[in-house]
Chain A
Amino acid sequence: MALVACFLAPSLLIFLLYRILPLIWNVVLSFEAWSPLHAATWVGWDNYDEMLHDDDVFWQALWNTLIFMASQPIGVAIALGIALLVNSDLKGAAVYRTIVFLSYPLMTVAVAIIWRWMYNERGGLINFVLRRLGIIHQPIAFLDSFAWALPSTIVANTWQVLGFFMIVLLTGLQNIPPHLYEAARVDGAPAWARLFRITLPMLKPSLFLCAVISILNSFAAFDLVYVMTNGGPGHGTELLITYIYKVGFGQTRFDYAAALTVAQFVLLLALAWLANRASGGNAGALE
């Protein structure tokens, strides 16, 4: 028991200092009115009241964040497809794996700059290809369009994290004992049955991890949104995380930003719990 404490202590200390204490700071602050130069005064539920009843940007940001998260399974599905294709002694598998993962080590700011350029109406590749193929005749202002801005940022985010999902799923696939497949083949089970009866259930822990990472991607998307669209047009790509940052540092309302942070935390807890139930309770094999 003492050993466990010793081994867990260093990590727990870091998390205490850099995550738990700040969270508590936020929770307390969300019930106060404070700015860096004035003493805090207790205002009870005022901040939450404003958030829920008097702030349509909050609802827009919440909606955008949910859409963002709802689109993540597409990325996971694509990554699973790639992982299945690449999971074997296929010649050159290592090269393909590397190529797909290559986008993940990039700084998100750089990814944002790259994709902002890709979407550019004049010099961007996407408009160029679409126009050359005759699909459109006028360039589409992807990042300025109310309809296209959020999907465009989602595409950029998916491109970046695809490799990460693939790695997690690959690791999971590697841990599936091959004899299960052998037995199924012997029994005459077709490929899709093997996928649904063996692969997916055995991948539950990895899928749960992917689900959690998907939820976290909305954090990683901060830099992406900030550089690509700054939440625009008109809050069309505003995520909770960018809104929190703007309210805190742009409008200097740390107390209100704290309430938003707590709200986001609660939302994510709920989503993580749902993901846990969906992957069979007890966090897959994380228990």
Chain B
Amino acid sequence: MKRRTFLAGTAATALACPAIAQSSKKLTFLSWNIVDQADMFKRWFAAFTAEHPGVEIEWLDKKGPDLPPFYQTQLAAGTPPDVLDLQGGIGIEYAAQGALLDLTPYLTAHPDVKARFNQDYLNNWVWEGKTWLVPFYVAKTLLFYNKPLFQKAGLAGPATSFDELLAHAEKIGAGGTDQTGFLTLNFDWLYWALFKMNGVDLLSPDLKQPVFDTPKLVEVTEKLAKATAGTAINKISWTGRWVEPLGAFASGKVGMLNAHAPAYFFLKGQGAWINQDTLGVAELPGNWSVPTLHGYGISKGTKNPDLAWAFVEFCTARKQAQEMADSRRVLTAYTEVDNALMGHLEKDEPLAHAVLATQLEHTDKLCGNWPLPNDSRIKDAFYPELQNALLGRKDAKSALDEASRKVARELRRA
């Protein structure tokens, strides 16, 4: 009896084997502007396919503005990439569109995977009670400041309140020709900490109503507009993207910069003056910060969901996350890995250590990260009006009224 079943079993396996060998599964991985890590990815793919024979990985990388048209076209054609790397609010947007696979069942089935991550960062991708992405690499905003400019202006250290921040900016801006006090990045809500520290919220807790059109916000906006009209706040804050703002700070003529940690490596490359004694690192007043995260998601239209999950699990495993952290000097939200990285850096690169340390503190004070299904539309409704007010085209009240009206309309449509 046993021998017969054994033989039957062997025969069955023997018949099945050629079938398995023939069916080669293809996994497409679409990443967001990370082509500099090509070597690392090739190692990962080789390791993964060794563990999963018969699997072929196709790697596509698109830069930020190019990824949406590419992805949407793929969706329309019915051939979405299996695994995606998405930045910022677009993750929730795609989830809300129905493009992504709900990862909650996988995380429940693999609690060890879930426990790897810093839960504050992981919770950024919860929408309607479900988790849609897991962290790939994370960053949040901090305050870089130019110590020599601070000394020249007679300032002891970074500000601890909004008004103090503006006062510092005023002083530094007045301190020399072409000098300005403060600069911030403005994409993906990165400036929101400035408002949050004044107790302003964008939307009601249920995310259905705009609640920002308050006298407090008008006051804050007017202060910022006045500072921008002078030399306290550099205009590039509201009009620049990545290169101009960072370039301006790197030129040594700006007192403070509100940007996320990866800016540090860019600045170091451009500003010869930057070293441990000249670059200060601090949290913004109130310890508020805006996260900008990259996460792995799986397309709902994938033909191999389990395989896609295996790939995501693999990429966020200890070894891979460590490689990513070491190679790019970025945090992965994988707690142990991040702690290990910080351990190295403390000795080898104290300034990088100081910068990255801010990324791990106060993760309970994240703002500007509402899980909105129509994040881009809300941004489009809000930011141009805010920009109008900050650049002096409209007065703050009417600009914010207009923004409130437009945001309400978008929320109604959702």
Contact = CB atoms under 8 A, between A and B. Distances in A.
A248 B376 CA distance: 12
B97 A35 contact: yes
Contacts of A249: 68-69, 72
Given A235-B384, A250-B68, A144 B239 contact: yes
B235 A144 contact: yes
Contact of B93 (A232, A235, A252): A252
A141 B235 contact: yes
B19 interface: no
B235 A251 contact: no
Given A54-B409, A232-B239, A252-B93, A36 B384 contact: no
A246 B379 CA distance: 12
A251 B391 contact: no
B384 A37 contact: no
| Residue of B239, B241, B388 with highest tally of chain A CB at under 10 A | B239
A230 B93 CA distance: 21
A141 B388 CA distance: 15
B376 A250 contact: yes
B380 A37 contact: no
Interface in B89-136: 93, 97-99
B98 A234 contact: no
A233 B68 contact: no
A141 B235 CA distance: 9
Nearest to A226: B65
A252 B72 CA distance: 8
Interface in B27-71: 68-69
What's the interface size class on B, roughly? 20 to 34
Given A232-B387, A233-B239, A251 B393 contact: no
A254 B73 CA distance: 11
Contacts of B377: 251
B137 to A, nearest CB: 24
B97 A37 contact: yes
A251 B76 CA distance: 15
Nearest to B68: A249
A230 B98 CA distance: 28
Contacts of A143: 239
A233 B93 contact: no
Given A144-B391, A249-B69, A252-B68, A36 B239 contact: no
Contacts of B387: 232-234
B388 A234 contact: yes
Nearest to B385: A234
11 contacts: A36-B72, A36-B97, A37-B99, A38-B98, A144-B235, A144-B391, A232-B384, A233-B388, A234-B384, A250-B380, A254-B72
- The 8 residue pairs across chains A and B that have the minimum distance between CB atoms: A36-B75, A234-B384, A144-B239, A249-B69, A36-B76, A37-B98, A249-B68, A234-B388
